[in-house]
């Protein structure tokens, strides 16, 4: 087994690199990949850069070039479901691209021919997460994550995303990573800690809490790795 551990921004993988300790750095496709042996298991760590295109490139590279066989994503998200507070964890059961729009042709939002509105994540990895949560006495919520190429800081956009997808949280990379994993038959796990609530003060909240929330998510994902390889 070779585990890909991915974030979008440097702050999302720095805590992971600190836990792993020693690694080899490889440049590939305009990005840096950190390869390590963590407790005897091969891991490849990278931050993709923000958005669907960069995260697609990184997820694909980790699977096709670095031969990873499982992918875990760790990062931060804007909360939609009012029960999600800053620092709370959400695990995606399924994800959708909220900005994929060919509704002009009568299709639902998020749908293109040959694709599907939602892509599911791996149920076994979610069950591993439940075991980890029990051991850490730390709760997470399972739910729908909506992904798009925009930082949402507007309640009207949030409401539209809820109406179209029933989403609990939103971010900018999860659905594209899930599409890659689904197509290449690699189990996928998407974890996010809430950094803001995607309304007017979202950018301030993000700046204040992004780093602490990224650490919460990274710590949880590394416990997942411990559990997967034990």
Which residues are designated catalytic?
12, 196
CB-CB contact of 90 with 61 (8 Å): no
* Cα dihedral 52, 111, 147, 139 sign: negative
Q: Which stretch binds ligand SAH (CB under 6 A): 70-78, 82-90, 106-114, 179-187?
A: 70-78
Ranges within 5-44 binding ligand SAH (CB under 6 A) = 8-9
State the burial class of residue 149 (Cβ atoms within 10 Å of its Cβ: 0-12, 13-18, 19+). middle
Task: List Cβ neighbours of 82 (8 Å cut-off, separation of 6 or more).
Answer: none
Which residue among 77, 132, 144, 222 contacts ligand SAH (CB under 6 A)?
A: 77
Number of residues lying near ligand SAH (CB under 6 A): 18
Ranges within 157-216 binding ligand SAH (CB under 6 A) = 170-173, 195-196, 198, 202, 206
Q: Which is nearer to ligand SAH, 122 or 171 (CB)?
A: 171
CB-CB contact of 74 with 6 (8 Å): yes
How would you label 64-84 residue by residue, b for 16+ Cβ within 10 Å and e otherwise?
Answer: eebebebbbbbbbbbbbbeeb
User: Is residue 97 close enough to count as binding ligand SAH by CB under 6 A?
Assistant: no
Q: Which is nearer to ligand SAH, 172 or 225 (CB)?
A: 172
CB-CB contact of 103 with 164 (8 Å): no
User: Is residue 220 close enough to count as binding ligand SAH by CB under 6 A?
Assistant: no
Q: Which stretch binds ligand SAH (CB under 6 A): 17-25, 76-84, 105-113, 181-189?
A: 76-84
Give the residues lining the site for ligand SAH (CB under 6 A). Answer: 8-9, 50, 75-78, 151-152, 170-173, 195-196, 198, 202, 206
């Amino acid at each position: 087994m070779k585990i890909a551990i991915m974030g979008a921004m440097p702050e999302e993988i720095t805590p992971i690199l600190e836990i792993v300790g020693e690694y080899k750095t490889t440049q590939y496709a305009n990005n840096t990949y950190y390869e390590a042996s963590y407790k005897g298991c091969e891991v490849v760590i990278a931050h993709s850069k923000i958005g669907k295109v960069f995260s697609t490139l990184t997820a694909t590279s980790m699977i096709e070039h670095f031969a990873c066989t499982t992918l875990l994503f760790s990062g931060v998200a804007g909360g939609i479901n009012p029960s999600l507070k800053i620092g709370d964890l959400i695990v995606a059961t399924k994800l959708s691209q909220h900005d994929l729009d060919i509704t002009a042709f009568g299709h639902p939002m998020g749908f293109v021919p040959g694709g599907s509105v939602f892509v599911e994540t791996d149920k076994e990895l979610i069950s591993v997460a439940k075991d980890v949560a029990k051991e850490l006495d730390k709760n997470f919520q399972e739910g729908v994550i909506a992904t798009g190429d925009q930082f949402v800081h507007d309640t009207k956009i949030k409401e539209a995303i809820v109406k179209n997808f029933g989403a609990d949280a939103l971010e900018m990379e999860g659905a594209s990573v899930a599409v890659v994993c689904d197509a290449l038959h690699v189990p996928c796990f998407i974890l996010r800690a809430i950094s803001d609530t995607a309304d007017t003060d979202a950018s301030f909240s993000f700046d204040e809490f992004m780093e602490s929330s990224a650490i919460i998510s990274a710590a949880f994902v590394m416990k997942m790795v411990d559990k997967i390889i034990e």
